[in-house]
A = this chain, B = another copy of it.
């Protein structure tokens, strides 16, 4: 039998930007030290023995970001709302907007998050069959602002 997950229907809002980005719930605030600012997570699909892929809906409030980290089997990010950032170690920071998709290669350190004045919402698709996420150092303000050399 498949797993069927039910969520509350999207709520209509007078703010069109919010209205467009409420397909999946915001979930709960992430409180661990692998993030800075206010990130929220709604798990959508758990990894299991038959299919190691997990899916989560992540909402970064303005200024929120991950620490640097890497995924042994890579990750797929689908931007579903707002304006955020994405950077791989050694490359320049990029703007990451609603409707764009990024495929992070395995074992490449990177970070992602919201821009300073806009929230950012993404669906993260991660496979665990080669191991769990490896968390690294925080993204400092020079890196976040793009003033640091990649």
- One complex includes copies of this chain to the number of 2
Cβ contacts under 8 Å, A80 to chain B: 23
A5 within 8 A of B: yes
- The digit string for A1-17, where 1 denotes a CB below 8 A from any CB of B, is 11111111110100010
- Residue pair B45, A4 in contact (C-beta under 8 Å): no
A residues 65-79 touching B (CB-CB < 8 Å): 73-74, 76, 78
Q: How large is the interface on A (under 10, 10 to 19, 20 to 34, 35 or more residues)?
A: 35 or more
Cα distance A125–B54 in the bound complex, in angstroms: 10
Cβ contacts under 8 Å, A55 to chain B: 76, 78, 101, 125
Cα distance A91–B2 in the bound complex, in angstroms: 10
Cβ contacts under 8 Å, A99 to chain B: 7-10, 23-25
How far is the CB of A125 from the nearest CB of chain B, in Å? 6
A98 within 8 A of B: yes
